[in-house]
A = this chain, B = another copy of it.
Amino acid sequence: MAILIGNDTRLLVQGLTGREGSFHGLRNKKYGTNLVAGVTPGKGGSDVEGVPIFDTVREATTATGANTSMVFVPPPVAADAILESHDAGIEVIIAITEGIPAMDMARTVTHLRRGQRAAALIGPNCPGVISPGKANVGIIPGEVCTEGPVGLVSRSGTLTYQIVYELTQEGIGQSTCVGVGGDPIPGSDFIDVLERFEKDDLTKLVVLVGEIGGDAEERAAAWVKENMRTPVVAYIAGFTAPPGKRMGHAGAIVSGSQGTAAAKKEALEAAGIRVATNPTEVSAIVGELL
- Within the assembled complex, what's the spacing in Å between the Cα atoms of A114 and B116? 7
Minimal beta-carbon separation of A86 from chain B (angstroms): 13
Q: Is A32 an interface residue (CB 8 A)?
A: no
A115 at interface, CB cutoff 8 A: yes
What's the number of copies of this chain in the assembled complex? 2
Q: What's the Cα separation between A227 and B115 when bound, in Å? A: 24
A115 neighbours in B (Cβ, 8 Å):
114
Which A residues between 95 and 141 are near B, CB-CB below 8 angstroms?
114-116
Interchain residue pairs with CB less than 8 A apart (3): A114-B114, A114-B115, A114-B116
Whole-angstrom distance between the alpha carbons of A2 and B272 in the complex?
Answer: 48
State A206–B116 Cα separation when bound (angstroms).
28
With a CB–CB cut-off of 8 A, which chain B residues contact A116?
Answer: 114
Nearest B residue to A115, CB-CB: B114
A252 vs B116: C-alpha distance in the bound complex, in angstroms?
26
Please measure, in the bound complex, the distance between the C-alpha atom of A18 and the C-alpha atom of B115, giving whole angstroms.
37
Which residue on B lies nearest to A110, using beta carbons?
Answer: B114
Closest to A116 in B: B114
Residue of B nearest to A114 (CB): B114
Q: Could you tell me the distance in whole angstroms from the C-beta of A96 to the nearest C-beta in chain B? A: 27
| Distance, CA A115 to CA B114, complexed state (A) | 6
Complex alpha-carbon distance, A116 and B116, angstroms: 10
How many Å lie between the Cα of A116 and that of B115 in the bound state? 9
Q: Shortest Cβ distance from A107 into chain B, in angstroms?
A: 13
A23 vs chain B, min Cβ distance (A): 38
Least CB distance from A115 to B in Å reads 7
Chain B nearest CB from A108 CB (Å) reads: 14
Closest residue to A113 on the B side, CB-wise?
B116
- Top 3 A-B residue pairs of the complex, sorted by shortest distance between their CB atoms: A114-B114, A114-B115, A114-B116
Could you tell me which residues of chain A, from 192 to 240, have a CB within 8 Å of some CB in chain B?
A: none
- Complex: how many Å from CA A278 to CA B40? 59
Residues of B within 8 A of A114 (CB): 114-116
CA–CA, A114 and B114, complex, Å: 5
CB distance from A98 to the nearest CB of B (A): 29
A116 to B114, CA, bound (A): 7
**Shortest beta-carbon distance from A105 to chain B in Å:** 18
CA A194 – CA B11 in complex, angstroms?
A: 41
Q: How long is the Cα–Cα vector from A158 to B114 in the complex, in angstroms?
A: 37
The closest CB in chain B to the CB of A111 belongs to B114
